[in-house]
Chain A
């Protein structure tokens, strides 16, 4: 059984790790968590993101947004690399998540086929 004791031990290793890393400058991933997004599969997309992040041992900042009025294109997943525009991917499946993470988040190449919107750098936030 997992215990808090184990968590305490984990904390000690992580505290040393943390000194080396800094949250700004991470790629940002944003998942739509409105009712429409959840009904369309946002939770499964989110789980695929968590799995990819863990398997590939990358550091990203993951956050959520509510309904943005593109319900028919949910699940939506945005990627924003530091200093770059924000790209919105639509109808994302857990399978697509792997391509988005590998191609875009890791290698900086937008997965054009899945793009449904883009926001240039500096526009909105």
Chain B
């Protein structure tokens, strides 16, 4: 995948497939330690010990439509090529946490890409799932929590057109402010 934000979109699909209704995304860009981490935590059905052991194997999947699982192994390879690694913690019936760490300045680290596109896509396509997005950039924070937005909306669907426009601007401004004008 060309962008870390595309990996993120794909990894969150696993949480959705695992019937999670709360998904937390945490991104940390820390220049002091030259480290970038992307963490997805869900309350889905989790993985058994044996699934967890084989999950990084590109030929493993519990899906029935295609015989190879790719998402996690691609993400792991990308992290490992960039001086980092991928760690998965999971407990059956409790949930799963996937964390990928990259060396920020590594030449093979893919760009972050269109995070706003990834977030809007996730929210519009999965209006009943709650999503909490926390992005820390050099000590500054941007947070968007769909539970909070839904409370304000009081029954109006979160994927209603004008609400989506509002979120688009909210995310765009929030991320721009975070980067303080700095473009990757």
Do A and B interact? yes
Interface residues of A (CB under 8 A from B): 1-2, 4, 6-8, 10-11, 14-15, 18, 31, 33-36, 38-39, 43-44, 46-47, 50, 53-54, 57, 62-64, 66-69, 71
Interface size bucket, B side? 35 or more
- Contact check, B124 vs A66: say whether CB atoms are below 8 A apart: no
- Contact check, B163 vs A66: say whether CB atoms are below 8 A apart: no
- Contact check, A15 vs B156: say whether CB atoms are below 8 A apart: yes
Docked Cα-Cα span, A122 to B165, in Å, equals: 35
- Contact check, B66 vs A71: say whether CB atoms are below 8 A apart: yes
| In the complex, B149 has a CB within 8 A of chain A | yes
* Contacting residues, chain B, for A69 (C-beta < 8 A): 65-66
- Contact check, B125 vs A54: say whether CB atoms are below 8 A apart: no
Q: Mark B129-157, 1 if CB is under 8 A from A, else 0.
A: 00000000000000000001100111110
Contact residues of A: prevailing secondary structure: helix
Interface residues of B (CB under 8 A from A): 1, 6, 9-10, 13, 17, 63, 65-66, 70-71, 74, 114, 117-118, 120-121, 124-126, 148-149, 152-156, 159-166, 169-170, 173, 177
22 A-B pairs with C-beta separation under 8 A: A1-B173, A7-B152, A10-B162, A10-B163, A10-B166, A11-B152, A11-B153, A33-B13, A33-B121, A34-B65, A35-B74, A38-B6, A39-B10, A43-B114, A46-B125, A47-B121, A50-B124, A53-B161, A54-B161, A64-B125, A66-B17, A69-B66
Given contacts A7-B163, A62-B159, contact A35 B120 (CB under 8 A): no
